[in-house]
Amino acid sequence: MKAGFIAVVGRPNVGKSTLINKLVSEKVAIVSDKSGTTRENIRGILNRGGNQYIFIDTPGIHKPRNLLGDYMTQNAVGVLSEVDVIMFVLDGTVPVGTGDRFVMERILEAKRVPRIIALNKTDKLSDAALLEKKAEIEEKLTKFDGYIEISGKYGFGLERLLAAVDPFLEEGICYYPEDMYTDMPTYRIITEIIREKILQKTRDEIPHSVAIELIHTEQRKKSADLFQANIYVERNSQKGIVIGKNGRLLKEIGTEARLEIEKLLNHPVYLELWVKVKEDWRKKKPFLREMGYAPEKGM
């Protein structure tokens, strides 16, 4: 038995969460086309061929603009020196840019940790374009211990990715039970499901301005379990958008979230949602801590 922790890092919106969900064959991280979807480190656990791979989905590493951004970047960077392998995910459809070089600088701060590049979204590239992309990476980025071409969306190259990670796993150890695919608490999964539905149905500043708090749960023997949650936004105008005309959008969000929560828990649930305004909450440390957005040793 071999096992190890693999930090999956990259700039925002390169497909890290999609990749981990595909590797684990379970939905452990919410997905949207909005940058900054992942806000905290999430572990996805894969048991394969006698090995245990613990993939850590990290927030996109970027130069933060507020305290929430600080938290996200600190979480992503903080894990790099504690893992067995760093997997640097690049979007193969765009040039290597300053954002990628900023991530690389953070990776290089974790000395003596093996580094593998995973070039994602290669299903969109021709063979000639792949050769050009590899040459660009070799020119612009520091030397790495492995280079794999993958498609997280379709699952191309994932066996080669696992093979590249294998030499760096630790012998004779197992961290989690074999039937476990994530260590995220159920309540956190539920709040993330609600947030995902909002991300998928809104645009502009709304997705970045939303926080979810599960305020009450109740198990019922003769009816559906009850879950009540607050949706926080930063402006009254945002509250109106999330609720929608005659409450239509909030109802859609609640219905889709409820169906996914029922699938997760394998029994009926009743979901109640309220939208509340907390002005500039992303800049307020006490509220961030209440929402769980705070490193263990402070910000």
What's the total number of domains in the chain?
2
Q: What is the pLDDT of residue 267?
A: 92
Q: Quick one: 110 and 20 in the same domain? A: yes
Q: Which domain holds residue 253?
A: 186-290
- The DSSP annotation for 69-107 comes to HHHHHHHHHHTGGGSSEEEEEEETTS---HHHHHHHHHH
Nearest-angstrom CA–CA distance, 151 and 19 = 8
Nearest-angstrom CA–CA distance, 186 and 212 = 14
Q: What pTM does this model have? A: 0.92
| 177: in domain | no
Q: Quick one: 227 and 194 in the same domain? A: yes
CA dihedral sign, ordered 278, 281, 285, 289: positive
| 181: in domain | no
Which CATH number fits the domain that encloses residue 209? 3.30.300.20
* Beta-carbon count within 10 A of 25 CB: 11
Q: What is the pLDDT of residue 296?
A: 45
Chosen domain end from 136, 171, 206:
171
Per-residue confidence in pLDDT tens, the chain, 299 aa: 899 999 999 999 999 999 999 999 999 999 998 888 999 999 999 999 899 999 999 999 988 889 999 999 998 999 999 999 999 999 999 999 999 999 999 999 998 999 999 999 999 999 999 999 999 999 999 889 999 999 999 999 999 999 999 999 999 999 999 999 999 999 999 999 999 999 999 998 899 999 999 999 999 888 899 999 999 999 999 999 999 999 999 999 999 999 999 999 999 999 999 999 999 999 999 999 999 886 544 33
Q: Quick one: 58 and 114 in the same domain? A: yes
Q: Quick one: 15 and 67 in the same domain? A: yes
**Paired tokens of 273:** 């949602």
Q: Quick one: 105 and 198 in the same domain? A: no
**Long-range contacts of the stretch 246-250 (C-beta < 8 A, 24+):** 249/201, 249/202, 250/275
| Residue at token pair 């660009």 | 136
| 153: in domain | yes
Q: What is the pLDDT of residue 295?
A: 59
Which CATH number fits the domain that encloses residue 57? 3.40.50.300
| 282: in domain | yes
Q: Quick one: 159 and 231 in the same domain? A: no
Q: Quick one: 164 and 227 in the same domain? A: no
| 119: in domain | yes
